[in-house]
């Protein structure tokens, strides 16, 4: 928790309303999307090249925002690394929300 507190203390507050939700649970992703919608946040779709690569790695994942990477990431942790980094550098989002419980 100290590391999270430190990260939050030096991080920047997002200036826009566009978020990407990356999760290991489709149900939780839907709940998070509902909450984001209630907060009037935007959830643009993933850039096509990121979705294509995620489907290559996990054919049954959902690449609609919210993105359901499924529990399959426990077999290949590089998938979450790829998704988070590519989404962050894509410029399509102002913030990323990750749900990784049980992963």
pLDDT tens figures, 27-47? 999 999 999 999 999 999 999
Reported confidence tier of residue 65, pLDDT bands at 50, 70, 90: very high
Mean pLDDT (the chain) is 90
| pLDDT over 80 (residue 54) | yes
Cα–Cα distance for residue pair 88/76, rounded to 1 Å: 20
Residue 103, pLDDT > 50, answer: no
Q: What is the mean pLDDT of residues 64-79?
A: 90
The single residue listed with the structure tokens 């980094």 is 85
Closest to 66 measured CA to CA, from 90, 87, 91, 89? 87
Question: Dihedrals φ, ψ of 9, to 5°?
Answer: -75, -25
* pLDDT for the residue 2: 74
């Amino acid at each position: 928790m100290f590391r999270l507190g430190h990260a939050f203390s030096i991080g920047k507050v997002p200036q826009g309303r566009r978020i990407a939700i990356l999760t290991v649970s489709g149900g939780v992703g839907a709940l998070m999307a509902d909450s984001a919608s209630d907060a009037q946040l935007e959830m643009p779709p993933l850039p096509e090249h990121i979705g294509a690569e995620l489907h290559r790695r996990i054919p049954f994942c959902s690449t609609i925002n919210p993105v359901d990477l499924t529990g399959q990431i426990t077999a290949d942790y590089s998938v979450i690394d790829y998704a988070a980094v590519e989404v962050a550098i894509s410029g399509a989002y102002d913030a990323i929300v990750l749900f990784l419980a049980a992963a």
